[in-house]
């Protein structure tokens, strides 16, 4: 039994040994034959792939160690050698198969050249193997995708070491070839059965021969088989040369040069399809040069460092966070007629955006600083406009939240808030086309706002501030300077995102509302070449409101220290004031202007009128502003303009245009205001100073034509004269209506002598004027009553030229011509002057005063109505009627007889009294003439400046009387002459006896007169 058992064991052992020997022999045979089989099989399969020549020096496979080696593999086509493989080595761990692990202990690829040929949109060819990129080239699959057999068998995979060294990639593109050298790529410890272990990936790639195109290197740790997959490491792209890659860029890129260096430290995590990226990035770009057509950009240095974090969920939720710092130096952009450059840029910034369940949120924070910014623009006329700013700073932050539309018909909805601040320092602008140069020291703007996008409407609500200091501008000969400008206020904007197709009302247009306070410091506008200050003010402040389309509102408006029009040769500006205050002002659509209380503090004006009756100071100011004043107009144009003004004949277009509504609450001027008037249009010149004591004009309402505007004006002229005007007017009525009362006291007429001499022919030697005026205008019908009192009034003695025309006819004092203007200014002035002097002398009272009542009436709508002419005629008529009345009172009843027979005032140089009647044919006066001569003597004694001309005359009755007395014809003329001579001598003798100085009585040569009774004529 024992022996049988032993034999049985030996038989079993022998069988096993045979099997083992068979396996060993089979393995040896396989190890010897298998490489040859594999080599032939590989060559055959490669040839089937379309390669014309397949060269393989050796293929080795050690069944025991699991090592596969392949040397000298070359694949050739008719055009190239897409693959040259020097050495490939693969070590397989057989023992791992016992644990269902496909473990590659080592994979090494050395000294290999691979051609990659890329045809955009068609295919990618790698080492001669074509991968179609067009879906139409793919054959349709009738079977479902089969699962990976290794996965089906539960076999896991892993690589202990994977190394690629000295692998040359030749990339062929339609633009050309580029060589990429993989210096080394290593992958260690990539094992799927140890998912928590970290695998290491390193690589170093050289772009272009001798690394002239740049270098790419990386070092990563990965966990591709873990439930939480991670990739963590660093990438360095060093000195990437854009110029060396020029052949690979499409034509749209243009010419690109520069060196790019990028450092990336990233961490990528994937958990249940949720991806998280943390990236620390550094980017440096040097000597950038880019050009495309006529556009070009150059950049000396650009650097950016920062962090980028991204979280993404398969549901679409996304969160992006970016924080970085950008620095730039030497940037320049050019295109035809335009150039933009800056020296440095510094920009720290933070951005975050997130989306969750269709809702978006985001924030932004940045601080941008630019230095030495310059922009040039060349106009079509080849004139260059340049702008230069020493420093620009833009600092701000913003946030938003909202939702995206779910359908194409919906609009996004957002709420957002933002704060921005812009600061400019030392800016300059030069525009040759407009001959404009501007400069500023600093300009600051800040905005703090919020807004929303809802129901196709964008709404913004902003608090804004702005400041400007030391701004100046020069255009042609004009120079403007602003010392300080400040704004603080609120701005509201509403903008439709989609215009309505049916309506275009105000709800479908931009709505803008501005409310704030504006303060302007010193402002000056002048013309240095002409040495003229045009406008100069010390400060302006106002609350401002504006709403679209055209509504402007001002309140608490105050313009201080204002001056206008001061050439170098003027001691005072044309107009100036300490303060102009307007409590409210509202302008709506250019059709309604409502102004509240207007007050001028310390208004002062200096008006100089030259001999041509022009304002040279105004002309110089307008000329300095680049405008000219046209003084000459044809008489026909003037008459037509005046006729239209009187008759209301407006052009059709002007009639059709709706006149704006003007409403002013009141206008006041402070009591210490003054007006200095100097006129050189007279000889000598006249200079007067008018001081305001009170100036008030009440409410003005153009929409109410019947509204009465009250006014109360009181001024002082020079040292003593007082003028006042009170009453009401209807300034916007279709016809003029007014009730006014004016008073003038202690007005020195000597000061106005040159003006009066021009009209009357006499200069005033002395005199003062008191006037009480009452004016009533009803429907443009003027009725005015003037009560004048002339105190110590005296005219100069009659000029020599007036004596030569002492017999001038057609005096204004002649009743038949009292309403007409003299045809000749010279004749009219002389004639009226002589007659006026006579009337004035007759009207003096015992205190050397003259009192007159001068009524004035007329129709203001009458084209022939001229105020100056009407006043002149009324004054002279008053003198006429006054002197007549005095004569009637003094000489009654004889004066009444003279008036009834119209003997008085038939000449401008003489006033004829009633004749002294004599007995026919005798040198004897009638008995009642003694009483008449007493009255004449009293008149002469009361009026010491009046002289009397005594002229005897004879009549036809005297001739008949002497003829009846038998006086011969030869003696008759002498007898008549002596008769008349005796009569005038008798009248002079009686007047002298009644106390009249004989030198005041002048006799004349007797003559024949056609009078009803003989006697003696008396004329003043």
Q: How far apart are CA 674 and CA 717, in angstroms?
A: 10
Determine, yes or no, domain membership for 961: yes
Q: How far apart are CA 690 and CA 678, in angstroms?
A: 11
Determine, yes or no, domain membership for 928: yes
| Cβ contact 149:94 at 8 Å | no
Selection from 175-189, 732-746, 761-775, 867-881 with the highest mean pLDDT:
732-746
Q: Which tokens in the block code for residue 5?
A: 């058992």
Distances (CA, A) of 720 to 124, 143, 249, 579, 724: 109, 122, 94, 27, 13
Q: How far apart are CA 786 and CA 774, in angstroms?
A: 7
The three-class DSSP label of residue 48 is: helix
Q: Residue 939 sits in which domain range?
A: 910-1019
How many Cβ atoms from other residues are within 10 Å of residue 749's Cβ? Answer: 20
pLDDT at 644: 44
Handedness of CA 867, 868, 873, 879 (dihedral sign): positive
| Number of folded domains that form the chain | 1
Place of tokens 């005026």: 773
pLDDT at 407: 75
pLDDT at 175: 67
Determine, yes or no, domain membership for 460: no
User: In this prediction, what percent of the chain has a pLDDT beyond 70?
Assistant: 77
> Which CATH number belongs to the domain containing residue 925 in this structure?
3.30.1330.60
User: Which range has the worst mean pLDDT, 243-257, 544-558, 834-848, 874-888?
Assistant: 874-888
Is residue 643 very low, low, confident or very high in pLDDT (cuts 50, 70, 90)? very low
| Cβ contact 730:736 at 8 Å | yes
Q: Cα-flanking dihedrals φ and ψ of residue 374, to 5°?
A: -140, 135
Determine, yes or no, domain membership for 952: yes
Place of tokens 């004694």: 941
Asked whether residue 1017 carries a pLDDT value surpassing 60, the answer given is yes
pLDDT at 640: 46
pLDDT tens-digit map of 949-989: 899 999 999 898 988 988 888 888 889 898 999 999 999 89
| Cβ contact 582:554 at 8 Å | yes
Determine, yes or no, domain membership for 202: no
pLDDT tens-digit map of 667-702: 999 999 999 888 887 777 888 889 999 999 999 998
Determine, yes or no, domain membership for 954: yes
pLDDT tens-digit map of 23-45: 666 666 666 666 777 778 878 87
Determine, yes or no, domain membership for 820: no
């Amino acid at each position: 039994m024992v022996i049988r058992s032993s034999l049985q064991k030996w038989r079993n052992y022998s069988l096993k040994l045979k099997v083992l020997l068979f396996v060993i022999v089979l393995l040896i045979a396989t190890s010897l034959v298998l490489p040859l089989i594999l080599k032939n099989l590989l060559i055959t399969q490669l040839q089937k792939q379309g390669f014309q020549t397949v060269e393989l020096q050796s293929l080795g496979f050690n069944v025991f160690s699991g090592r596969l080696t392949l040397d000298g593999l070359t694949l050739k086509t008719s055009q190239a050698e897409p693959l040259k493989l020097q050495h490939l080595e693969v070590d397989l761990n057989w023992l791992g198969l016992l644990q269902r692990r496909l473990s590659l202990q080592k994979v090494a690829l050395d000294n290999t050249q691979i051609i990659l040929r890329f045809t955009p949109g068609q295919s990618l060819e790698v080492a001669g193997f074509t991968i179609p990129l067009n879906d139409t080239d793919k054959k349709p699959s009738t079977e479902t995708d089969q699962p990976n057999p290794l996965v089906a068998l539960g076999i896991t995979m892993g690589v202990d070491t994977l190394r690629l060294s000295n692998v040359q990639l030749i990339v062929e593109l339609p633009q050309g070839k580029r060589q990429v050298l993989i210096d080394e790529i290593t992958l260690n410890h990539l094992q799927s059965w140890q998912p928590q272990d970290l695998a290491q990936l390193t690589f170093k790639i050289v772009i272009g021969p001798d690394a002239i195109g740049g270098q790419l290197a990386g070092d990563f740790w990965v966990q591709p088989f873990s439930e939480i997959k991670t990739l963590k490491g660093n990438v360095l792209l060093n000195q990437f040369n854009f110029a060396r890659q020029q052949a690979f860029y499409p034509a749209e890129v243009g010419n690109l040069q520069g060196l790019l260096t990028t450092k990336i430290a990233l961490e990528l995590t994937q958990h249940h399809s949720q991806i998280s990226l943390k990236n620390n990035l550094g980017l440096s770009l040097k000597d950038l040069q880019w050009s495309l057509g006529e556009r070009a950009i150059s950049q000396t240095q650009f650097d950016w460092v920062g962090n980028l974090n991204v979280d993404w969920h398969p549901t679409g939720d996304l969160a992006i966070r970016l924080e970085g710092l950008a620095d730039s130096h030497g940037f320049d952009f050019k295109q035809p007629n335009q150039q933009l450059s800056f020296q440095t840029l510094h920009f720290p910034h933070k951005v975050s955006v997130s989306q969750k369940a269709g809702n978006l949120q985001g924030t932004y924070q940045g601080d941008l600083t630019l230095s030495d910014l310059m922009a040039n623009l060349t106009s079509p006329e080849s004139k260059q406009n340049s702008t230069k700013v020493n420093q620009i700073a833009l600092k701000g932050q913003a946030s938003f939240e909202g939702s995206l539309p779910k359908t194409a018909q919906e609009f996004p909805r957002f709420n957002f808030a933002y704060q921005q601040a812009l600061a400019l320092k030392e800016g300059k602008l030069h525009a040759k086309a407009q001959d404009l140069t501007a400069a500023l020291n600093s300009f600051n703007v800040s905005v703090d706002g919020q807004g929303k996008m809802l129901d196709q409407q964008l709404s913004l609500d902003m608090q804004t501030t702005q400041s400007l200091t030391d701004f100046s501008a020069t255009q042609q000969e004009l120079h403007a300077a602003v010392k300080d400008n400040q704004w603080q206020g609120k701005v509201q904007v509403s903008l439709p995102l989609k215009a309505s197709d049916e309506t275009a009302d105000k709800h479908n247009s931009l709505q803008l509302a501005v409310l704030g306070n504006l303060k302007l410091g010193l402002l000056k506008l002048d013309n240095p070449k002409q040495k003229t200050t045009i406008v100069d003010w010390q400060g302006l402040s106002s609350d401002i409101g504006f709403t679209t389309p055209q509504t402007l509102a001002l309140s608490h408006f105050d313009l201080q220290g204002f001056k206008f029009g001061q050439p170098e040769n003027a001691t005072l500006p044309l107009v100036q004031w300490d303060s102009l205050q307007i409590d409210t002002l509202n302008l709506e659509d250019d059709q309604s202007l409502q102004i509240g209380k207007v007050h001028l503090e310390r208004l002062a004006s200096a008006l100089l009128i030259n001999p041509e009756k022009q304002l040279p100071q105004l002309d110089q100011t307008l000329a300095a502003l680049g405008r000219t004043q046209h003084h000459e107009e044809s008489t026909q144009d003037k008459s037509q303009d005046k006729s239209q003004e009187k008759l209301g004949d407006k052009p059709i277009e002007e009639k059709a245009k709706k006149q704006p509504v003007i409403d002013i609450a009141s206008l006041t001027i402070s009591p210490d205001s003054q007006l200095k008037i100097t006129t050189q249009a007279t000889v000598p010149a006249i200079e007067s100073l008018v001081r305001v004591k009170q100036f008030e004009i009440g409410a003005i309402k153009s929409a109410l034509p019947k509204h009465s505007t009250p006014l109360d004006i009181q001024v002082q002229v020079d040292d003593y004269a007082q003028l006042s005007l009170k009453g009401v007017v209807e300034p916007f009525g279709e016809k003029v209506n007014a009730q006014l009362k004016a008073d003038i006291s202690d007005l020195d007429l000597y000061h106005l002598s040159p003006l009066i001499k021009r009209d009357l022919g006499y200069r005033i030697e002395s005199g003062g004027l008191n006037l009480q005026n009452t004016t009533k205008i009803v429907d443009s019908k003027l009725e005015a009553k003037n009560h004048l009192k002339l105190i110590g009034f005296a005219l100069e003695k009659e000029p020599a030229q007036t004596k030569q025309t002492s017999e001038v006819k057609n005096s204004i004092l002649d009743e038949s011509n009292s309403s007409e203007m003299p045809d000749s200014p010279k004749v009219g002035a002389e004639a009226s002057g002589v007659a006026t002097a006579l009337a004035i002398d007759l009207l003096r009272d015992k205190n050397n005063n003259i009192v007159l009542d001068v009524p004035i009436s007329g129709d203001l709508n009458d084209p022939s109505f001229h105020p100056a002419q009407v006043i002149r005629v009324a004054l002279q008529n008053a003198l006429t009627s006054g002197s007549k009345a005095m004569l009637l009172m003094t000489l009654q009843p004889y004066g009444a007889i003279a008036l009834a027979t119209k003997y008085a005032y038939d000449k401008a140089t003489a006033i004829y009294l009633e004749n002294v009647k004599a007995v026919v044919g005798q040198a004897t006066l009638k008995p009642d003439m003694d009483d008449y001569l007493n009255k004449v003597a009293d008149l002469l004694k009361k009026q010491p400046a009046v002289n009397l001309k005594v002229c005897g005359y004879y009549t036809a009755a005297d001739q008949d009387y002497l003829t009846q007395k038998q006086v011969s014809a030869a003696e008759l003329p002498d007898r008549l002459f002596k008769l008349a001579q005796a009569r005038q001598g008798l009248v002079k003798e009686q007047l002298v006896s009644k106390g009249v100085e004989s030198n005041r009585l002048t006799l004349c040569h007797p003559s024949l007169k056609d009078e009803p009774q003989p006697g003696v004529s008396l004329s003043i």
